[in-house]
Structure 1
Amino acid sequence: MESFYKYCPVSSHENLEQEYSLTNLFEHQASFSRRKNFNDLFDSEVHILHPSRDRVRRTYQKLSGESKRTFKKLYMGESSKYNFDLLVKSIEDVLDCYLFYCVTENPVNNLMWSHYANSHNGFCIEWDAGAMSPDKVTYQEKLPTLDLLEFIESTIGLRTKDEIASQAWVALKVKLQEWKYESEYRINLSKRAHELIVKDLGKFALVKFQPEWIKSIIFGCRMPQKTRDYIRGNMPENTAYQEVVISPNGNCLVLKRMV
């Protein structure tokens, strides 16, 4: 794949200086969201499975020495339910910290232009796929699960922490089937890239990017000429532009290169 795309809104064409999507574009920063900022109530929600007594007992039998005594005290004694609940809370807190940037492979999706670009009044950023490594979202009928006991086992040497981290990222890339039309991909801001954060605002963070990662700006069908001119006037001179137009047969959207 050569490009990925980000649909962006323009809410008011009368106050363009106050449009956050344009400000971010001109200042070379992208808005990475945490899962609590998503518009879908079920997006990135993960069911954490409590283990049965039998599974807890089998894990206990694999241990020895101090770790075995500690495990029994924490997860097989009177306070086991309380300790399990504490772990669930800590896992939820970790999942809440992940920062995502969501893109798609389709720049001519009518529903996406309608839902995420103010009914074709906004724009779309074409990103160079060589500058990013997004992972494809999985669409399924049920929410994903994480196994609480496997998380515990990763803290006592029975599983690797990398294995659990990988499972968490897989779970955070799941959406319900009804969103499949989005053809979404997700970029996870790794800890190594945290120095690129310009401002952390809690539910989302602004992250610096290189201007050359943008291959083109795509104007929506209904974007007024003055907004197009405003964007052109604030972008680097070598920026390429396209627009979305209705196809000659009137049945779909197509891209048209602009000069």
Structure 2
Amino acid sequence: MSTKLYKYRSFNDQFLNNIIINSSLYYSPIKYFNDPFDCRLSFREKYSNKERKLWLIKASLRNPQFGKQDIKEMMAFYTNEKLIKMIKKSNNELIDNIGVLSLSATHDNILMWSHYSNSHNGLVFEFEPLNYDGYDCLYHPIKVDYDEKYELLSYLESDDGSELVKLMLTKHIDWKYENEYRCIDIGFQGEKKFHKDELKSIFFGLDTTTKQIEEFKKLCLDNGFTHLNFKKAKKINGKFELAFDDI
């Protein structure tokens, strides 16, 4: 992916300096998300006998825990309620271990600067993901979809990952201004390293002080980021827009 992606940060962020010192970004647990609908979409709770039977047949073929039980016995034991309880438990355990890195496709959104960069007193990192391998921090960013409504997800279709993708990448249209991309790791949360050459520029906010800028530029240079471009935001007269000057 050659598209540049951006990370909005505040100088109050406890992980900020680690971005430079450790060449890393933080994969967050879903429980810390500020949107109560984000990755918490609703699932159908009722399924027909035909749907349950088909799921149990497929499960018995790929999962030894079901053994060679007769399908009628399985249908009798795994009532709708028991089946949903079992799958829901498995899904929740999976989701609890997922880590998400959120990025944006834009660096000049006024709301983003206000919400995620301490009211224009923070900074934005510009990355160009090079997709080295599946362990790289910026491997395979996926675009978030925005909509006014969604169809209920299906517990019985969650095995192949398609419902998990919808769960992770569907948000209400009110969030569209974020223009978000996500890097998702099924089993990792915490800091993950990126390659130094993937970080291209740093943009400082309108109200970032000269002292903050100079200290952070020094941190970058001291940690091998000698190739970075540094820019400072300014207002465009007569417009609700930002421009950026090289500094």
Q: How many residues align?
A: 230
Q: Which residue of 2 aligns with 1:117?
A: 117
Contact 2:202–2:228 (Cα < 8 Å) also in 1: yes
Give the 5 Å matches for 1:56-67: 56=51, 59=54
* Post-superposition offset of 1:71: 4.4
Given the two structures, how large is their TM-score scaled by the length of structure 2?
A: 0.81
* Identity across matched positions, percent: 25
Residues 137/106 of structure 1: CA separation in 2 closer, same or farther (3 Å cut): same
Amino acid at match of 1:99: G
Higher helix share: 1
- Over 3 Å counting, the alpha-carbon distance change for 1:28 and 1:60 in structure 2 is closer
Which secondary structure does the structure 2 equivalent of 1:10 belong to? coil
- Closer/same/farther in 2, CA of residues 230 and 240 from structure 1, 3 Å limit: same
Match runs of 1:212-231 below 5 Å: 212-231=197-216
Structure 1 unaligned regions, length at least 5: 12-17, 152-160, 195-203
* RMSD between aligned residues: 2.8
The 5 Å alignment of 1:60-209 reads: 69-77=69-77, 80-131=80-131, 132=138, 133-143=140-150, 145-151=152-158, 164-189=160-185, 204-209=189-194
Q: TM-score, normalised by structure 1?
A: 0.77
Q: Give 1:86 deviation, angstroms.
A: 2.2
The 2-side partners of 1:165 and 1:62 are apart by: 18
Runs of 4 or more, structure 1, over 6 Å off, are: 60-68
Following superposition, the deviation at residue 147 of structure 1 comes to 1.5
C-alpha contact 2:200 2:227 (8 A) present in aligned 1: no
Structure 2, unaligned runs of 5 or more: 132-137
Matched residue type, 2:180: E
Structure 1 partner of 2:34: 39
Question: Displacement of 1:91 after TM fit?
Answer: 0.9
Q: Deviations over 1:178-229 (max 9, x none)?
A: 11111111111366xx6xxxxxxxxx41111222110001101111111101
Offset at residue 75 of structure 1 (A): 4.0
